[in-house]
Amino acid sequence: MPKPRLKVATKCQPRKRARPKDVRPYATLFKALGDETRIEIVALVAHAGEPLCACDIEAHFDLSQPTISHHLKVLRKAGWLTSERNGTWIYYALDTDALEHVQTVAGVLTG
């Protein structure tokens, strides 16, 4: 089946571009998702609906505790997760600001 042809304007018109200074603050947020384990951790925590203990997150993966701790640290520093200590346990939740940042970047990219 042939692909439909795109309708192209007869004259090129400059479009508003995303300026680096507009999107640079969000680079760390997206770099943190550059690993499939971290994407899965964010999805796991987001779908939990309540803060998850680090031990529950670790139990979901076939990775060592130091590796999971590293991923959690990267996600926390990037702004994807918040953490709260309760005794010897640390509980992680999705940082609601992260989703707002993603929407902001989408708005900047689409003009």
pLDDT in tens, 98-110: 888 888 878 777 7
Whether residue 13 lies inside any domain: the answer is no
Whether residue 50 lies inside any domain: the answer is yes
Identity (one letter) of the amino acid at 110?
Answer: T
Whether residue 102 lies inside any domain: the answer is yes
Give the angle subtended at the CA of 30 by the CAs of 82 and 89, to the nearest 5°. Answer: 20
Reported as half-sphere exposure (CB side, CA atoms, 13 A), residue 15 has a value of: 9
Whether residue 97 lies inside any domain: the answer is yes
Phi, psi (deg, nearest 5) at residue 52: -105, 140
Whether residue 95 lies inside any domain: the answer is yes
Dihedral of alpha carbons 100, 105, 107, 110, sign: negative
Using CA atoms, how far residue 105 sits from 17, 82, 88, in Å, is 12, 21, 37
User: Residue 71 is part of which domain span?
Assistant: 21-110
Record the pTM.
0.77
Please write the tens of the pLDDT for every residue from 71-85.
999 999 999 999 999
Per-residue model confidence (pLDDT) at position 16 = 62
Task: Give the mean pLDDT of 29-45.
Answer: 95
pLDDT at residue 90 is higher than 70: yes
Reported for 19-23, long-range contacts at CB under 8 A and 24+ positions apart, including other chains, are 22/108, 23/105, 23/108, 23/109
Whether residue 15 lies inside any domain: the answer is no
Task: Give the mean pLDDT of 11-32.
Answer: 73
Number of structural domains the chain divides into:
1
3-state secondary structure of 20: helix
Whether residue 43 lies inside any domain: the answer is yes
Whether residue 42 lies inside any domain: the answer is yes
